[in-house]
Amino acid sequence: MKKMLSFCLVLALLSGLCGGAAAQREEFDGELFFTVSRIELSVVGESEDIYIGSLPRELVTWESDDESVVLFEDGVLTATGVGSTTVRATCGIQQLECQVSCLAETKEALMAMDKQAIRAPKRYPPIVDQSVNSFFQDAAIIGDSIAYIMYQYETQLGYLGHPLFLVRGGTSLNGFVLHYKNIYYKGDEIYLEDAVGASGVKKVFIMLGQNDLGYRTIDETFQSWDILLERFLERNPNLEIYLQSCVPEWKNLYEGNSKNDTIRAYNQRLKEYAQEHGYYFVDIAPYIEDHTGRMATVYSMDSSIHLNQEGCVIWMQALNAYAYWKTMGEVV
Amino acid sequence: MKRILALLLAAVLLLALAGCSGKKTSEAPVDLKNVYQQMQEKLPRMMELDETMQLNLLGIRSEDCAQAVVAIFADGLQADEVWLLEAKDAAALERLTEKANSRVAAKLDETEFYLPEQYAVVKQAQLITRGNYLALLISPDVEALQAIFETGVK
């Protein structure tokens, strides 16, 4: 009988503790959020932190349905074996899941796999309520031909609520800075900074650099960023600047991948640059790359740098997810 | 005699009026959407631009147009583009012509060293005005589009 009583006491204490913790969690204001809705880790041992929610990690319970495939601790995934499973974060009444796979035991085994598998996308952005696209209604999307194609699909699908597009094919940061390539705004060719000023947009989402990296160093490209963004801020000191990472190029597996190595180094520098200057960094590239660091085949329009409709949709979903995350706790 | 003269005058006036009304019938507005529909089988998948997009991308002001059908290629970097506009007056037509020329210049610049096949297509672009109607036609099949436009606005 004593044993029974003490067992009940322990149970009561435990449930009290759990209830307390749950209550504490429910009281906490914040949201669970992952960088991905689905991810394929390439090889065993690979890790990735997918948690960017506003709830502190210590208040969250992390679970993996199959720890022989992946461990999920403090928001960090670590592949332990080949296979697929689901991971889950729980806090009070909130719960969020993510599909996770691991493709191969080793890099050698990975490269010996079917091409279709290793040229598939590694990450898929979170899918959020599209009403968040009001975030882009006072924004301009700025870019070259890659963004021009996104303009076409955005116009047809409306994923971003039809922001202003200031795009021109074949252009570069250098072209905009030296004014040998300008923007056509309302039918007139004017300087990009003047178009930004005249349009009255409050945010700019810029993806540029891809064409610069073909003939200029990363250092030179960042000198152009300095000049261009200074000009933007002269026109509108309150402008919010969002720098998007450049997407990787599609390359054949037998070709070298040095251009994508350069793009990766450039994107890393862009992230640091944004942090140093108080700009925002929106990392699009991870959603476009495959297991080899090239553009995933299903997103390639022309076996080059341009995204097809599927790729542009992923890009827009990533922007919407970013907007959701950015406004978490404000308007959402 | 006076009666005969009055009758003749009336007949002349009636004939003149009939002539005017006949002329008016032949100048009834052309439905540019209908003209565009006829062009569609000669075109790849296109997307039509609304007034805001026409203004922001191309500088076409709705206040200059009695009608405007504008479509660009929908799936990438092909140069195909069609503008079918009816200007409100001669001054508007001049402004729209200037924007069309500007667009051709921009497309030539964008494609010259980058997309040589598309550059060749843009080089054959046709900018046609008939009365207050304007067509900018950029297509590998530009002659067929031109014929449809010419027939449509005749």
How does DSSP classify residue B139? S
pLDDT at A257: 86
Q: Average model confidence (pLDDT) for chain A?
A: 91
Coil, strand or helix at A159:
coil
Nearest to A168 among B60, B110, B113 (CB): B110
One-letter amino acid for residue B70 of the chain: V
What is d(CA A207, CA B117) in angstroms, rounded to the nearest whole number? 26
Q: Is the pLDDT of residue A18 over 80?
A: no
The residue of chain A with its CA nearest to that of B114 is: A170
Chain A nearest CA to B116, separation (Å): 13
Residue of B51, B63, B94, B110 to mutate, testing the A interface (most A Cβ within 10 Å of its Cβ):
B110
- Higher per-residue pLDDT: A23 or A36: A36
Instruction: Find the Cα–Cα–Cα–Cα dihedral B17, B21, B27, B31, rounded to 10°.
Output: 160
Rounded to an integer, the average pLDDT of A58-74 is: 98
ipTM of the predicted structure?
0.78
Report chain B's terminal Cα–Cα distance, integer Å: 45
What is d(CA A52, CA A55) in angstroms, rounded to the nearest whole number? 9
Chain B nearest CA to A180, separation (Å): 11
* Residue found under tokens 């597996």: A253
Chain B nearest CA to A189, separation (Å): 8
Whether B106 and chain A come into contact, CB under 8 Å, resolves to yes
| Beta bridge mates, B87 | B65
pLDDT at A27: 56
Q: Is the pLDDT of residue B53 over 60?
A: yes
Region of A293 please: left (phi>0), alpha (psi -120 to 50) or beta: left
pLDDT at A210: 94
CB-based contact A205:A141 (threshold 8 Å): yes
pLDDT at B10: 56
What is d(CA A312, CA A125) in angstroms, rounded to the nearest whole number? 12
CB contact under 8 A, B99 and A308: no
CB contact under 8 A, A152 and B53: no
SS3 for A228-292, per residue? Answer: HHHHHHHHCCCCEEEEECCCCCCCCCCCCCHHHHHHHHHHHHHHHHHHHHCCEEECCHHHHECCC
User: pLDDT tier at A193 (50, 70, 90 boundaries)?
Assistant: very high
Nearest to B75 among A152, A169, A181 (CB): A152
Q: Is the pLDDT of residue B153 over 90?
A: yes
Cα B47 versus chain centre, distance: 17
CB contact under 8 A, A306 and B99: no
Contact residues of A toward B, CB < 8 A: 145, 148-149, 152, 155-156, 162, 164-165, 168-170, 181, 184-189, 301-302, 306, 308-309
Name which of A264, A204, A211 is nearest A228 in CA terms: A204
What is d(CA B135, CA B26) in angstroms, rounded to the nearest whole number? 20
- pTM for the full model? 0.86
Q: At residue A135, what are phi and psi to the nearest 5 degrees?
A: -55, -30
